[in-house]
A and B are shown apart, each in its own frame.
Chain A
Amino acid sequence: MTTISRRSFLEATAAASAVAGLGGLPGVRQALAATGRGGETWVKSVCRYCGTGCGLFIGVRDGKVFAVRGDKDNHNDGFLCLKGFLLPQILYASDRCLHPWVRKDGKLVRTSWDEAMSLVAARFRESIEKYGPDSVAFYGSGQGLTEETYCANKLFKAGIRTNNVEGNPRLCMASAVGGYVTTFGKDEPMGCYEDIDHADVFLLIGSNTAEAHPIVFQRVVRRKEAKRDVRVIVIDPRRTPTSRIADLHISFTPGNDLAILNAMAHVLLKEGLVDEGFIAKHLAFGEGAEVNKSWEDYKAFLADYTPEKAASIASCTAEEVITAARWFGERGKAAMSMWTMGLNQRTKGVWANNLVHNLHLITGKIGTPGNTPFSLTGQPNACGGVRDGGALSHLLPYGRLIANDGHRAEMEKLWGVPEGTLKPKPGLATVDMFRALESGDIKCLYIMCTNPGQSLPNVTRYRKAMEKADSFVVVSEAFHPTRTSELADVVLPAALWAEKDGVYGCAERRYQLLEQAIPPAGEARPDFAILCDLAARLGHGKLLPFKTPADAWAEILTLCKGTAYDFTGMTRESLRSSHGLLWPLPAPGHPGTRWRYVKGDDPLVPADHPERILFYGRPDKRAVVWLRPQKPPEEVPDAEYPYFFTTGREIEHWHTATMTRNCRELANTNLESMAQLHPADATRLGLRTGAPVRITSRRGSQVFRTKVSDGARQGVVFVHMHDADRMCNVITIDAVDPGSKQPEFKVCAVKLEKA
C-alpha cells in the first residue's frame, strides 16, 4: 500500500514536472532575446573581421562588452569563427588610441581634439590653396562603416573637388570588380551563401577558405556532410587546411592558373558539357576590351589549351585538369566556384576572374540555386562601403563612373552642388597615389581605418613617402601605434566597432546594421563625427549636415534609387529589425534578392521576361565570355631569384593584426610570420624548422624563421601577412593589374639564404 502510494506519488510528481518542463525548454530562445537577465543587454551587430559578415549579438554588462554570440537568425546560423568569438578583447586593448596625437619636434605628443583638427584643416586648406585640390587625398578602408566612407567620398569629391579618393579594397577586391563588370556589366556577385546549400561541386581557386573565411568553409563542410556525392576541387599551389575537404587538389606553379581554367573550358567543350542553347541566347564573346568575337572564335581560341599544355605550363597533371572539368561540367550537377585573393592579387587578376565566369557561362551553370561564380571578400564592408558606395578614384556612388558625363551630372544634382563641381578625370589609384606622395604631387593624405604602412606592396618605398618631411599624413585609427600611425603627423583616436553605429555590406550583397553597444573608449570619436567636423572646418559643412549616421543613410537611400543596386526599401528600421537584407530591395517590404538576374527573384528582371535569366547589366543583355590567354606574372623566378614568394593568411589573425594581436589566445598563436618551405627545399638549403632564413627580392630583404611544411610546394615560399615586425610586404612587388590597378601580392621572385 505504502509502496503503491509512494510510486503513484512519484509518477504524479514526475508527470507534473515533465509537463511543466514543456513550457520551460521552449523559453530558451526567448531567454536569448535582446535584453537578458541580470542587467545584461545583447546588441545586434556584425563581426568586425572578414567579408563573410557573420551576424552576432554583443553582450554588455556594467557598460562593458563581456561576450559575443552568433546570430542564429543570420546566414551564419549562430556560428562564429575563433577570431569572432574573441572579439570583446579588441575593445579593451592596451594599445587603443585614446586621445589625439600630433607630431612636435619629430615626436608624437598628446594633444586636444581642437588642436588636432585645427591643424588638419589648416594643412589641408593651405595645400589646396597653394597646389590645388589634387594635392590632397583620402585613403579609406573596407572596414569603415558605409556612412563614414560616404561622408569622406562626398567631402573629397564634391567639396574639396579631388577624385583622389581610394581605399584598401583596391588591394583586395579590385580585380573581382573588374571581372564582374567586364563579364556582366555590373559589379557584385549574382549568387549568395545559400547557393552553398544547393551545390554539388565546389571549385575553390585562389582561396584558403578554411582559414580566411571559416564560416563559409563550415557551410561547405555541412553541405558535404549532408550529401555524400558532393565534390570539392581545390586549386592552390599550397596544400592548406582547405584541402582537408578536397576530393581533388591541384597544386601548380604560381601564376599559371589561367592556363588551367582555359584547359578546363577546353575539356568542357570537347566532352560536350557546354550548353549551346544558353550560349546562343545569353552570351557574347570578346577579346582585349572589345566584345567582337564569336562562339566559333572562342572555340578556336580554346583549341590550343589542351589539358596537356596546361599541365606542362602549370606543372600539374593533365588528368587533374580533365577530372576538374568533368566534375564541374557534369550535367544535372550544380557547380559553385569561390575565389579570393589568389586570383585577385595578380597582374592578370581581372582575366583570371573572367576565366572563372567563363566556365559557368558556357555550361549555363549560373542563376539557378547552387550554380554560381561567387567571389569571397576580404573585408567586412569592402562591398557595401567602398565598391557599392563608389569610394574609389574612378567611381561615384552605386555604379556610376567619374569619367561618365551623365553620371557626374546626376550626382551633382543629387548632391545639390553646382554643375561641373565633380572633376571628369579619375583620381589616382592606390599605388599611384602613394607614388604621388613620394614625388610630392600629393602633400596631404588622410588615412582612415587602415594600415598601409604594413599592407602596401613594396612597403619600404611607400613608408619613406609617408615619413618624409613634406608629406602631411593624418591617420584616424582605433589603435596606436600601428606601422602607419607611427609615421603620421596627426593621429586621431577612432571609435571601434561596438562603439558606433552604421551599416556593413558583406560578400553576398547583404547589408546589415551594426548598432552601438557601448560608448567610445577614452576621447575616441566615430569616424563619421570626425569627418563631419573636418568638413565644417574646411568650409564644406553643408555637404555633411548629418547629426547621426541614420541621417546619412537616409541620403544614401536617395542615391541608389533607380540603379542596379536599388535598396531604397532598406530603411534604418528595416535593417534594425532584420538579420541582414540582400539588394536589390527597391521598396519597403520587398524580401530582397537572393539571385540576381534571375526571373522571379530579381525585381529588375521583368516578370514576363521569356527566359529564366536576363543579364541586364550590359546594353545587349548578354554576359561576355572573354578570350584571355595565359600570361605569366610580372616577376618569375630566374637564376638570381630562384624561388616563388607568396603571401596569405592564417586563421588566427586578420590583416595587419592590429586587432587580433590584442586577443590573448591569438597573440600566442601563429603571430610571427615564418617562411613556410617544402621539406626538399629546406633540405637543399640546410634549413630546419626554427632556423633563420633571409628572403630577398629585388625590392627588399627580411629574415624569418623557417617552418618546414609538407603542404608547401617545392620552389615556393609562403609567408603570412599579419606580422608587424617581419613584414612580408618589404619583399612583395608593387606591379599592378592594368585594368583593376590591384597589386600582385601573390607572386614575386626571391632568393633564400641561411641567416
Chain B
Amino acid sequence: MLLVPAVALVGVALAGPPGKTGKTGKAATRPAHPEVDRVEACDACHTDATPQVVTEWLAGKHGMNNVKCFVCHGSVGADFVLRAPAERCIGCHAEQVASLGHPALAGKDCFSCHPPHLLSPHRLLGAGAGGAQ
C-alpha cells in the first residue's frame, strides 16, 4: 500500500474553497452545462476539452479505479468545485484528511503534495506518471 499519508515539505499551500459535503438535496433537474444531458460522464467531452486532465486521471489510481470527476469536483453548475476541499476525500482517505489537522500541515490541502488528477503518492514526485506502484 503506497497511498499512505506521505506529506512532504514540497508544494505550494493553497486553501480550497469551503466544502459542501453533507449538504443534502434533491437530484438536479438540469445541469448548468447546456450540452450536458444526463447521458454521459464528463470525460466524454473533456477528453477533447481538457486532454491533459483526462490523461493524467486515467494514468492515476483514480482513473484506474473509476473514481470519476464528480467525486472530487461535485456535480455541474452551482455544485461544481474547482479545487476539491478535503472533505470530499474522506470517503476513502479519512486518515490522510485527518492528518491535515496537524499543525505541521497548517494551510495545506491534499493537492499541496499530490498533483491533481494524477494524484501520485509522494514518493513518485518527479519520477513520472504511474511509476513503481
Contacts and interface: CB of A to CB of B under 8 A. Distances in A.
Interface stretch (A75-83, A371-379, A434-442, A541-549): A75-83
Nearest to A93: B26
Nearest to B101: A31
Size range of the chain B interface in the assembly: 35 or more
B71 A85 contact: yes
A665 B74 contact: yes
A222 B38 CA distance: 32
A68 B91 contact: yes
B8 interface: no
Interface in B52-93: 64-68, 70-71, 74-76, 79, 87, 90-93
B41 A670 contact: yes
Interface of B: 1, 5, 21-22, 24-28, 31, 36-42, 64-68, 70-71, 74-76, 79, 87, 90-95, 98-99, 101-104, 133
Contacts of A668: 28, 31, 36, 38, 70, 75-76
A665 B70 contact: yes
Interface stretch (A21-29, A182-190, A497-505, A565-573): A21-29
Contacts of A21: 102, 104
A661 B27 CA distance: 6
A32 B95 contact: yes
**Majority DSSP secondary structure for residues of B touching A:** loop
Interface string A136-167: 00000000000000000000000000000000
B66 A210 contact: yes
Given A68-B91, A225-B133, A28 B5 contact: yes
Nearest to B99: A28
B28 A664 contact: yes
A64 B104 contact: no
A92 B24 CA distance: 6
A444 B99 CA distance: 56
A204 to B, nearest CB: 15
**Residue among B21, B39, B42 facing the most chain A CB atoms (10 A cut-off):** B39
9 contacts: A24-B102, A67-B90, A68-B91, A79-B92, A82-B71, A214-B65, A661-B27, A662-B27, A666-B70
A575 interface: no
Interface in A205-261: 210-211, 214, 217-218, 221-222, 225, 241, 244-245
Given A65-B22, A664-B79, 12 more contacts: A28-B5, A28-B98, A28-B102, A78-B93, A82-B67, A92-B24, A93-B26, A95-B26, A217-B65, A651-B68, A664-B75, A669-B40
Contacts of B92: 69-70, 78-80, 85
A147 to B, nearest CB: 28
Contacts of B66: 81-82, 210-211, 214, 217, 241, 651
A61 interface: yes
B40 A92 contact: no
Contacts of B98: 28, 31-32
